Amino acid sequence: MIPRFEPVIIGFLCNWCSYTGADLAGVARMQYPPNLRPIRVMCTGMVHPGLVMEAFDQGTDGVLILGCHPGECHYLEGNKKALARAGVIFRVLEDKGINPERFEIQWISSAEASVFAELVTRFTQKIQKLGPYSPLPRQAYDTGIKTYDRL
């Protein structure tokens, strides 16, 4: 039997809403796939697109940014900034040849534990369908030298 593909998903969760929501899902013993590796950030507005790209460079299969609903940001406009930055991420993913479906930005309030569980389930299934993301080493140039043996 082929083992089921278990994707690695990195989540940037804001401290005030989504992380608390995820916490609540845990306290309420809700079931959702264990593929998400949550990283708690103070605000989604602080997640530089470079961090998301770095996650992909290091071989993660999907990235989620989860923040407070618009208008409910603890810092007033952080999630607005996160949304603007997400636009950059989509654009650059597409241009870099990475399927932009591997990235999502969503809003989860601290009370929406079930929404969080559903979202993680859906996203994990989606990534499972897409398959693993492997930043293929660009074909080593055919000179008989298989890797770049750095002299």
Partner 1 sequence: MTVRIAGEALNACSGCEISFLDMGERCITLMETLQIVHLPLLMDSKHSGITGRDHSFDIPEADIGLVSGSIKTDDHFHLARAMRKACSTVVALGTCAGHGGIPAMANAYDNQEIEQCFLSTISTDQGSLFPSAHVPALMDTCRAVDEIIRVDHYLPGCPPHPDHIFGLLTALAKGQDYDLPAKSVCSNCPALRNGKGEVVRLLRPLDLPAKASPGTGESRNGLLCFIEQGFLCMGPVTIDGCGGNSSLARCIEAGVPCRGCFGPLPYPGDQRLAMLNALVSNGIDMDSLPETRSLLRFSGGHGRLTPPFGKKDTRTDGS
Binding-residue total with partner 1 (CB under 8 A): 35
Nearest by Cα to 66 from 27, 122, 136: 122
**CB of 112 closer than 8 Å to CB of 53:** no
Q: Which is nearer to partner 1, 22 or 93 (CB)?
A: 93
CB of 34 to partner 1, least distance (A): 22
Start-to-end C-alpha separation, the chain:
43
CB of 131 to partner 1, least distance (A): 5
β-pair partners for 9 = 36, 62
Contact residues: partner 1, CB under 8 A: 48-50, 53, 81, 84-85, 87-88, 91-102, 130-136, 138-139, 141, 143, 148, 150-151
